[in-house]
Amino acid sequence: MDNSTAHPVDNSLHGRTVVVTGGTRGVGAGIARAFAEAGAQVLACARRPPERPLAGVEFIPLDLRDPPAVRACFAALPRLDVLVNNAGGTPYRLLADADAERHAKVVELNLITPLTASLAAYEHLRRNRGSIVMVGSVSGGRPSPGSAAYGAAKAGLANLAASMAVEWAPEVRVNTLVVGMVRTEPAHLHYGGPDGLAAVSRTVPLGRLAAPADVGAAAVFLACDAAGYISGASLQVHGGGERPAFLAAATAGGDVRTDCADAAATRGGLPRTTAAGQESPGASPVPEER
């Protein structure tokens, strides 16, 4: 193949407009910062403004559960190249502890609002051959006791993204970030201080929880030209996942047994609460497990 006439890929995002839903705190703020640092014009949509302004990020007040307001917001944009559907989350809630209507609200926030925003953004994205990044969760691919409706919604989100990638090709690329545990500011409230954080971190093969910037970097990659042939994909951003449970019962490999036993003891009594994007009514201020 003759590469003499090939042009270098431009991976900068200068001149592009990016909307990040739930982009004012936690993972969403990390994503918004990453796009701003890549040179994009970034708009963060959420119900509440950030506690501190984010450099290079414009805040737009928006309740994503209000479809007419969402459509009006996107229609008013002069340009849109990338939509990051990050807003979502859930409080810890066992299935039998709430009625179906309460669980339906979790599904609405984590599945229906990304669909609403994507439909509202479609014409902009089609015109500019843009892309959508869905922020999914490891909870969508394994049992999620205490957040079952959330896990079901995230499983649906991954399927929605895959179908959307086929229907809207070739004009719009659609991909999903499958995100694991993320360390945000109030992590110590959930995991019991430094010792708890250290024990939980040992359950991750890379030895630490993700930082919001890790998720942001992955989102920027999927949106830039380097990922121009990637669509309908699920990119796992979970530090290698979770060690198999059987290792905790293994009779060999003392270090592995100790690490897993510590992790099991730490995690066994902890609720798996998510606060992705901090958009969920009543969601606890806890570290984000997408």
| Residues of the chain by 3-state class (helix, strand, coil), percent to 5 | 45, 15, 40
Structure-model confidence comparison of residues 51 and 276, the more confident one: 51
- Mean pLDDT for 196-211 is 91
Q: What are phi and psi for residue 179, nearest 5 degrees?
A: -100, 140
CA 102-277-265 angle, 5° bins: 80
Provide the token pair at 202. 């040992």
| Span 116-163, pLDDT tens digits | 999 999 999 999 999 999 999 999 999 999 999 999 999 999 999 999
Provide the token pair at 33. 């910062």
Closest CA to 130 of 35, 50, 49: 35
Q: What is the pLDDT of residue 186?
A: 65
Per-range mean pLDDT, top range of 40-54, 174-188, 243-257: 40-54
Question: In this structure, how many other beta carbons lie within 10 angstroms of the beta carbon of residue 247?
Answer: 14
- Mean pLDDT for 184-201 is 76
CB 173 within 8 A of CB 132: yes
Provide the token pair at 277. 């994007």
Structure-model confidence comparison of residues 200 and 224, the more confident one: 224
Give strand ranges (E) for the chain: 17-21, 41-46, 57-61, 82-85, 131-137, 173-179, 181-182, 234-237, 288-289
Burial class, 268, CB count within 10 angstroms (exposed 0-12 / middle 13-18 / buried 19+):
exposed
What is this structure's pTM? 0.84
Provide the token pair at 90. 């859930």
d(CA 5, CA 272): 53
Q: What is the pLDDT of residue 248?
A: 75
Pairing state between β 234-237 and 41-46: unpaired
Q: What is the pLDDT of residue 169?
A: 98
- 44 sits in which H/E element: strand 41-46
Percentage of residues in the chain having pLDDT higher than 70: 80
Greatest Cα-to-Cα distance within the chain, rounded to the nearest angstrom:
65
d(CA 250, CA 158): 34
Kindly tell me if the per-residue pLDDT of 289 is higher than 50: no
| Span 42-80, pLDDT tens digits | 999 999 999 999 999 999 999 999 999 999 999 999 999
CB 202 within 8 A of CB 259: yes
CB 89 within 8 A of CB 151: no
Q: What is the residue-averaged pLDDT of the chain?
A: 85
DSSP letter string over 149-163? HHHHHHHHHHHHHHH
